[in-house]
Chain A
């Protein structure tokens, strides 16, 4: 065996691109973004120091407050909707049904498509003038109304519906893998004791699958914070500013409204929020009790 320092030189060289990316593209950009958020930068960076001024302005901006509220509403509906619907799909698919793979394929295909495609399809389907609303009226229900897409107080829920349509299959795929791992003895035991199936699911299976639920929730929550394309394609943030989200706020102020200081303050708030929520989970997942492995 070669001495240890020699071995690790080749490995370090191989890791050089990774180090460059981590130092410049991740850590460097984050530090830079945070630094700029304390300046009065408009378009080109000026490195003065204005303290918390951008943050004060940010939280006095209606559009940012609405973006935050929308993220919360969308996130709650989207995550809960996906988890419940995805769980039901997984459970029903697990009932030894015929044509299982056909159903599975149908439930998961939207996940392969982009948010832009999803957004445009739902925009077309739900537009009030020619979409579902008009179609149902043509069928004879003249009073039928489903105009959520153009209603400021409802449009955000349409975005959640489109999101649920796209991502429920993901939850189903994750939970189905978990259900297939459940010991058949458990079902026999439950049957012997005469416990109704729904109670077995609710009180035994769901707690057993909790790691999968956590994984699914983390994946969905990541998508929630990043949501941008879906809003762009579905509503463009409208009507008015009723479906604005933080990710869109940052992009708009960076590239269209030429207010980089405010945009970086907003992205810093996003970053810190995600970090606070995520750090404990990441630590427990990847770094606890993984010692003793290596060359």
Chain B
């Protein structure tokens, strides 16, 4: 038996041991790995092209400039249009707001109905929705394009909102179903005895209890929809391209030399909304990951 059993109980006095140094060394090196691209992005975006051509990726700018940011926002070209990334920014917002509201409202109702009312076919419905969360989108795309063009929604704002609602539904339903599964069934039964109907119980009892999960849902949907590229590219139409698609177009529209500083400024601008959500929401973001991951 080792002598460690003889050590006193209680918190260890803080000492600097080789093991502690190793722990911090690993963490600091890892942090550098994660931060490096962000650093490169920011530093590149404020360098004039003359400095970028020298090929010193990590060096500080000698003559910092905000011109790349102005160009990225207001007059960088995406194809033939030269109105900058702000067009995509506004489009993303116009897509984001209705998509988030509709998908969460629907997910909450369905999760509630599945958890407490268990109508006929509920298991089947849930099974298909669940599968939908894992199936590659490619299998839905072509028929969906044809369906939406039949009803005149292909390449339109309502069309892309519908698509985001459809594909946001599995996660939203799962989220709310799991949340409501944690609410004591007796609470629901008491409300039933008091004569509460489907909607009355939902709006007056369940929804007020749901604030935490709604926050998680908003975080997940805002970052998810903002970061979407595929659906925006296929369903939104040229007029409504979201920011991610516009960003890719800015980067790939080259007349002459590639303006890496403008590209990086545009990239940061595109990442800004989800990053702000991430840094502001903190632990809620992690909770969203956990809520999306736990079993039902």
Contacts and interface: CB of A to CB of B under 8 A. Distances in A.
Nearest to B286: A173
A26 B140 contact: yes
Contacts of B35: 106
Contact of B229 (A114, A131, A260): A114
A47 interface: no
B197 interface: yes
Contacts of B55: 129-131, 134-135, 137-138
B31 A107 contact: yes
Interface of B: 1-2, 4-5, 23-24, 26-27, 30-31, 33-38, 40-41, 44, 52-58, 106, 109-110, 112-114, 116-123, 125-144, 146-147, 165-166, 169, 173, 181, 185, 188-189, 192-193, 197-199, 223, 226-230, 234, 244, 247-248, 251, 260, 263-264, 267, 270-271, 274-275, 277-279, 282, 285-286, 289-290, 292-296
A287 B129 CA distance: 13
Nearest to B290: A177
A33 to B, nearest CB: 5
Given A18-B125, A109-B34, A115-B227, A250 B57 contact: no
Name the prevailing secondary structure of the B interface residues: helix
A218 B293 CA distance: 9
Interface string A120-132: 1110110001111
Interface in A193-227: 194, 215-216, 218-219, 222, 225-226
B146 A45 contact: yes
A97 interface: yes
A19 B125 contact: yes
Given A112-B274, A120-B247, 18 more contacts: A12-B120, A24-B147, A26-B129, A28-B143, A32-B146, A33-B140, A89-B30, A103-B31, A105-B282, A121-B40, A125-B40, A135-B56, A138-B56, A173-B290, A222-B133, A270-B136, A271-B136, A294-B118
A267 B136 CA distance: 8
Contacts of B56: 135, 138
A201 B218 CA distance: 36
Contacts of B126: 286
A7 B295 contact: no
Nearest to A45: B146
A134 B53 CA distance: 10
Interface residues of A, number: 104
Contacts of B270: 114, 116-117
Nearest to A285: B295
A49 to B, nearest CB: 18
A92 B121 CA distance: 47
B248 A233 contact: yes
A92 B229 CA distance: 34
Contacts of B52: 130
Given A26-B140, A194-B4, A106 B31 contact: yes
Listed residue (A45, A109, A113, A274) with the most chain B CB atoms within 10 angstroms of its CB: A113
Given A124-B260, A125-B37, A25 B244 contact: no
Contacts of A267: 136, 138-139, 141-142
Contact of B27 (A14, A92, A121): A92
23 contacts: A1-B192, A1-B193, A11-B119, A12-B119, A14-B110, A25-B144, A28-B143, A29-B139, A33-B139, A103-B27, A105-B279, A109-B279, A113-B271, A113-B275, A114-B270, A116-B229, A120-B267, A121-B38, A134-B55, A135-B55, A174-B290, A192-B4, A232-B229
A110 to B, nearest CB: 6
B38 to A, nearest CB: 8
Contacts of A174: 289-290, 293
Nearest to A229: B229
Nearest to B228: A114
Contacts of B41: 121, 124
Name the prevailing secondary structure of the A interface residues: helix
B271 A114 contact: yes
Contacts of B123: 287
B57 A125 contact: yes
Contact of A165 (B34, B147, B189, B296): B34
Contact of B24 (A33, A97, A216): A97
A106 B34 contact: yes
| Interchain residue pairs A-B with the least CB separation, the first 3 | A114-B227, A10-B198, A134-B55
A251 to B, nearest CB: 7
A274 B138 contact: no
A33 B143 contact: yes
B230 A229 contact: yes
B146 A25 contact: no
Contacts of A255: 234
A274 B26 contact: no
A254 interface: yes
Nearest to B1: A194
A1 B52 CA distance: 74
A109 B295 CA distance: 24
Listed residue (A33, A45, A88, A114) with the most chain B CB atoms within 10 angstroms of its CB: A114
Contacts of A125: 36-37, 40, 57
A279 to B, nearest CB: 8
Contact of B244 (A19, A33, A110, A114): A114
